[in-house]
Amino acid sequence: MEKKLNAFYCHLNKHYSMYSFLANATTAIAMAGLALLGVLNGALTTLALVVWACIFGAIYLFGKWLNQEVDDIEKLKGHMPDDCGCS
């Protein structure tokens, strides 16, 4: 498991700007989707509102988790091996 995490953090370190954009984009899309659900509250059925709210909630959680990982990469650079294999 630790080897897989090292590979993930190495890849995240190499493609930092892409992951940062992805984290911000997923958070923004989820917030826009939840706002749209508030506008469409009267037009959608309760089941559709619940399903879409769960989907947008999961997207938001993923975006916030990825944002936290991107923010913490600076702290992890000192603990990563020199030859992480993604150069």
This prediction has a pTM of 0.79
CA 58, distance to chain mean position in Å, is 10
Over its length of 87 residues, how does the chain's per-residue pLDDT go in tens digits?
A: 767 777 777 888 888 899 999 999 999 999 999 999 999 999 999 999 999 999 999 999 999 999 998 888 877 766 666 666 554
Helices (H), the chain: 2-14, 16-39, 46-71, 73-76
> Distance between CA atoms of 18 and 81, rounded to whole angstroms?
22
Place of tokens 């603990």: 79
Classify 41 as helix, strand or coil: coil
Amino acid letter at 3? K
